[in-house]
Structure 1
Amino acid sequence: MVQFSFFVLPLCFLFNSRKIDNENIKTLQNDSFMRYINLESLYLEDNKLTTIHPGTFSGLGNVHWLGLMGNRLQTLDGGGICHDAPSIRWLSLGNNKISTIEPHAFDCLSQLSDLNISLNPLQSMDEDVFEGLDRIKSLYVYTIYYTDFSTAMFDNTTNLDHVYFSKFRYCNFALHVRHCEPNSDGISSLEHLLARGVLRVCVWVIAVLTCTGNTCVMIGRSLMKHENKVHSLFIKNLCASDLVMGVYLIIIGTKDVVYRGIYNRHALEWKESFGCQFTGFLAMLSSEVSVLLLTYMSVERFLCVVFPYRDRRPNVRQAAVVLIAIWLTGFFLAFSPLIGHGLGYFDSFYGNNGVCFPLHLHQPYLRGWEYSAFIFLGVNFTSLLIILSAYTGMFISIQRTRRSIASSFTTYVGQATNGWIPDIQRKNLRTTALSGSMYAWIVIFILPINSAINPILYSLTTRTF
């Protein structure tokens, strides 16, 4: 074991800075620095220190800068730092192995203005962990994926001016801080729910097109007579599911207007509210019902083309049973996280971002990611394979005289499923997080655009059916 005492150091009363890096120091003896009464800066970085005992820094009453980065400290109780060097203004504890910070660990450091505890596997911190740090101005807690931050932790840090978190959503717990980093997750910023102006325009344009187009198709198909009532029934239900996506976009657009310029004050309240949970439920319901409907319709088209003379085709009653089953399945998939909300696993499933959509592409391993993977890799990917297989088989078996019919219908189904293909591919590569800005485009534009385009496809490409 490599030990370190004041006898190793030259006796000096004039040095005001000392740097002892990469010396493989594992233990510091008590009173090691008693002779360094004038020392103002001490750097013990990149050593192998595991514990700071009370008395280790005795005599360092004038030290203002203390660097302990890159060691192997595991628990911080403050006893070896707080009482021995109460005049510290800059303390760096980053890149250690600190998993626990004991309550009141920094109580005696009333002069501390800069604290760095980044790059530590923190698992336990008391709500009063920063109590007593009345003068702290900068706090570095980046690359820490501690999930139990709370507003109470920062209540006493009234002079805190800069804080550096790992994730944008943690800024919601320190609302009084003037400069919080990162200041955006690509979707939202400290000021706005939708950070970019082009997203604000897109959300309203697509919402209006989606609601207007699908409503018109539903009304039109209800008033007009069709030879194939079963197919018309499925089209109207597909319109209804797309219309739900339009409602989702209107809610997001409205909340963006309400919180314009003051979003960070209400971000935590919004994401934890029932309104956000319900909004996410609508988006999930719409997407899953649409995918399941398209899957069934693709299989039915395959059977019609490959076996044109089969006798057993679904009538209106049978179609109604299938539709009820599809809506109930979509409802169950979307509603399950609401049932589990408050039980731990699903607590932030819909509220992990401001748009309340749980695709989990920008932060792949958030709580509930397994369920998200089940939905988008299990259910949706399986549906996509069935749709592609159905149309591959259809083109192999189709007669030449009916090729134009199948081609037109494939255009409609292909367009409707096209938005899911890149998302499923990205979900498969979830080990690499998608940027927040790309995630915003997927949720606001790529997925909903199918709901806006579908009414046109219904009118132009499905008259034959």
Structure 2
Amino acid sequence: MHYSHAVRGLYSNNISTLTENAFAGLESLEGLDLHNNQISTLTENAFAGLESLEWLGLHNNQIRTLTENAFAGLESLEWLTLHNNQISTLTANAFAGLKSLKELWLYDNQISTLTENAFAGLESLYSLLLQRNQISTLTENAFTGLESLQDLWLYDNQISTLTANAFAGLESLRRLWLYDNQISTLTANAFAGLESLRRLYLENNQISTLTDNAFAGLESLKVLWLQRNQISTLAANAFAGLESLKDLYLQDNNITTIDQGAFSVFASSLGKLDIRRNNLQVYRESTFEELKYITELYSDLFRLCCVVGEIEVCEPTDAFASCTDLLKREILRILMIVIGLSSFIGNLIVIISRRINKENRSTVDSILLTNLAASDLLMAIYLLIIAGADIHYRGRYAKVASEWKNSFLCSFSGAISTLSGQCSVSTLMLMSINRAINIVYPFSTKRLKRTKCKIIIGIAWLVWLCISFLPLVANKSHVAIPYFGENYYGKQSVCLALPLTRHRLPGWEYATAIFIAFNGLGFFVIAASYLTIFLSVKRSAITANRRQRREEEIKMAVKLGFIVFTDFCCWFPIIVMGICSEMEWWRIPDDIYVWAATFIIPINSSVNPYLYTIIYMCKSERRP
């Protein structure tokens, strides 16, 4: 409320006492600002003679008690601010005479008790702010006389129990804030008399049980917040009386059971239901099927989206799966099997052939290529696990989605997929750096030796093994790292933790650091290495005595370059999409996300062995 004239500002002085008739002669004054003084007591008739006053600011003082008739004579007052004082008790008739008052701010005081008739005479009051006090109990008739009240702020107090008829007399109340209290029980008829209430905020309390008829009398309620409580069961009559409810928030409780008929009372009105981050185990599908008008459903169970059918928003979504199959696209099933088998066979041939070939198996290039094949072999195993799970769950996936995504096999496959990708990138980095050093400094004594190469590769495998499998064991009792959530790899049916979606799931920073930051750095190093090779070849004058050796190094660099290039083509789009997603520049369509995860990333593990080793072997056999 703003007043442009007839306002007296006496704030931020050292006023400690207001004597009787202190403002005599100011009959036309409309606003009086006394905040940020040292006033401790309001004497009787302190504001006598201010019959035109509409706004009175007394916040940020040291007022401890409001005596009876302290505001006598302020019949035109509409806005009274008393927040940030030291008021501990509101006595009966403390606001007597304020028949025109519309807003009363009493938050951030030390009020512990609301006595009967404390607000008597405030028949025009519209908004009452009592948050952040020390109120522990709401006695019957505490709000008598507030028949016009529409907003009541009681959050962040110490209220533990709501007794029957605690809000009697508030027939016009439309919004009630009770969150951040200590309420443990909602007794029957706790909200009786609130027939006009539209919004009820009860989140972040200690409510464990919703007794029958706890919400009786709330036939006009539209939105109910009950998240972050300790509710374990939704009984059949838990929401009796909420016939008009449209939005219900129940996330972050410990709900394990939903009885048949728990949602029946608002089956024809509920449009939004949020039951995420619970532990739902016992329920009947018919409980959700009867919600005919629901448009938004948020849960932890993909199966429920199949139960309610096509609606505007249903989460969790799964871009890869359908209600019947783990992989909903037939082409993806075929590609996953083909790429998986091709990669498995090709990389296995590479590893075996290099172990058999005694001449080449101990060279640095052979060690690096063998490790690249080993990491690509892990990707093949991942693909075959997912393809096998799709075949196993074919036609019934929705019913076992939670079982699969929470299984060890799903988490294990996600971990080896991460291990495969990161070891591949690390190996390619080392290959590129080694090749650049050999070409730019052909006679250097600091070339990468076999022993040093094995040590570096071993350390890389050990580091990525720990990083990849850490989320897998993070929810074990002896490790207990809540950062990763309960199921880091099981967010999607294909068990990947790629940071390409708009959702900020637990551990998303971890995934971003791995797949975007490290891989981005890796391919920058690879690009810099090959740029160095190109510039060195172009600018240097090749002498006769080192021409042959340098040409051999360049040929090897070209061969390895094909492998690097294909890996770059696979990973660079992922890095770009990840950056765009994290910066919220682009919402990646589901189809692109699916193809990126199931085709673009794995394809290089299948192509690598055929690009170099197998082709090289075939060429060797054709030599005279």
TM range (shorter): 0.7 to 0.9
> Which of residues 369, 372, 375 is equivalent to 2:514?
375
Match 2:217 to one of 77, 84, 92 = 84
Q: 2:608 corresponds to which residue?
A: 454
Paired residue secondary structure (2:612) = helix
Q: Which whole-Å deviations, capped at 9, do the CAs of 1:354-389 have from their partners, x for residues lacking one?
A: 111111322541011121122123322222221122
Equivalent position of 2:163 in the other structure: none
Residue 450 of structure 1 deviates from its aligned partner by 0.8
Matched residues in 2 for 1:145 and 1:427: separation?
29
- Name the residue aligned to 1:321: 455
1:55 pairs with 2:192: yes
CA 1:108–1:218 in 2, change beyond 3 Å: closer, same or farther?
closer
Preserved CA contact (<8 Å) 1:130 1:156:
no
Answer whether contact 2:344 2:380 (CA < 8 A) is retained: yes
Match status 1:388 vs 2:521: no
Give the CA deviation at 1:180. 7.0
Alpha carbons of 1:405 and 1:168: their partners in 2 closer, same or farther (altered >3 Å)? Answer: farther
Q: Is the contact made by 2:297 and 2:305 (CA closer than 8 Å) also made in structure 1?
A: no
* Pick aligned residue for 1:310 from 441, 444, 448: 444
1:345 and 2:516 are equivalent in the alignment: no
Distance (Å, rounded) in 2 between the aligned partners of 1:377 and 1:202: 25
Do the aligned partners of residues 176 and 420 (structure 1) sit closer, same or farther apart at CA in structure 2, a change above 3 Å counting?
closer
Counterpart in 2 of 1:288? 422
* Larger helix percent: 1
Shift of 1:434: 3.4
1:415 to 560, 563, 566: 566
- Following the alignment from structure 1 to structure 2, what is the Cα–Cα distance between the partners of residues 167 and 404? 57
Residue 126 to residue 244, structure 1, CA distance change in 2 (3 Å): closer
| Structure 2 residue aligned with 1:252 | 386
Identity %: 25
* 1:359 corresponds to which of 498, 522, 547: 498
Q: 1:203 to 1:237 in 2, by over 3 A?
A: same
- Of 326, 329, 342, the residue aligned with 1:193 is 326
The match for 1:427 is 578
Q: Distance between the aligned counterparts of 1:256 and 1:147, measured in 2? A: 26
Structure 1 residue 109: Cα displacement = 4.2
The answer to whether residue 264 in structure 2 is matched with residue 135 in structure 1 is yes
Note the alpha carbon deviations across 1:146-175, whole angstroms, 9 max, x for none. Answer: 422523466893864666655575334x49
For residues 21-75 of structure 1, the C-alpha deviation after alignment (integer angstroms, 9 at most, x for no partner) is xx99425973738xxxxxxxxxx9xx655469622246xxxxxxx993xx47345
Shift of 1:412: 2.1
Deviation at 1:340, TM superposition (A): 1.1
Structure ID, larger Rg:
2
Q: Which residue is 1:171 aligned to?
A: 302
For residues 109-258 of structure 1, the aligned pairs below 5 Å read 109-110=239-240, 116-117=246-247, 122-124=251-253, 126-127=255-256, 133=262, 135=264, 137=267, 140-141=271-272, 144=274, 146-152=276-282, 157=287, 160=290, 169-172=300-303, 174=304, 177=307, 179=309, 182=314, 184-224=317-357, 229-258=363-392
Q: Which stretch shifts more, 181-190 or 400-409?
A: 400-409
Provide the rounded CA distance (Å) in 2 between the counterparts of 1:362 and 1:175. Answer: 19
**Mapped partners of 2:288, 2:504: distance in 1:** 33
> Aligned partners of 2:416, 2:395: CA distance in 1, in Å?
26
Q: Deviation string for 1:256-291 (max 9, x for gaps)? A: 111111111111111111111111111111111111
Structure 2 counterpart SS, 1:394: helix
Aligned CA distance change for structure 1 residues 170 and 431 (closer, same or farther; 3 Å): farther
Determine the C-alpha separation between the residues in 2 that align with 1:111 and 1:72. Answer: 14
1:107 aligns with 2:261: no
TM, length-normalised to structure 1:
0.76
- Return 5+ residue gaps in structure 2 as ranges: 1-101, 105-121, 127-147, 153-166, 179-188, 620-624
Structure-1 separation of matches of 2:616 and 2:445: 22
Cα separation, partners in 2 of 1:218 and 1:327, compared to 1, 3 Å: same
Deviations 1:188-219, CA, capped at 9 Å, x for gaps: 12211112222112211211221122223333
Give the CA deviation at 1:451: 0.6
CA distance in 2: counterparts of 1:30 and 1:79, whole angstroms: 23
In the superposition, relative to structure 1, how do residues 454 and 207 fare at CA in structure 2: closer, same or farther (>3 Å)? same
Task: Name the CA distance, whole Å, in 2 between partners of 1:140 and 1:151.
Answer: 23
- The separation in 2 between residues aligned to 1:324 and 1:266, in whole angstroms, is 39
Spell out, residue by residue over 1:378-427, the C-alpha distance to the aligned partner (whole angstroms, 9 max, x if none).
Answer: 32222222112211222122258856664443232121132221222222
* Contact preservation (8 Å) 1:214, 1:242: yes
- Number of residue pairs matched? 420
**SS of corresponding position for 1:353:** coil
3-state SS of paired residue (1:348): coil
Structure 1 window deviating more from structure 2 (345-354 vs 291-300): it is 345-354
| Counterpart selection for 1:26 from 144, 148, 151 | 151
1:73 maps to 201
Any idea what the Cα deviations from partners look like across 1:293-318, whole Å, max 9, x if unmatched? 11111110110111111133333333
Give me the whole-angstrom Cα distance separating, in 2, the residues matched to 1:102 and 1:242.
47
Measured after TM superposition, the shift of residue 127 of structure 1 is 4.3
- Assess if the C-alpha contact under 8 Å between 2:236 and 2:262 holds in 1: yes
Q: Distance in 2 between matches of 1:407 and 1:129?
A: 63
Cα distance change of structure 1 residues 306 and 151 upon mapping to structure 2, 3 Å threshold: same
Q: Which runs of 5+ in 1 are unaligned?
A: 9-22, 34-43, 59-65
Q: Take 2:597 and 2:321, find their aligned partners in 1: how far apart are those partners?
A: 13
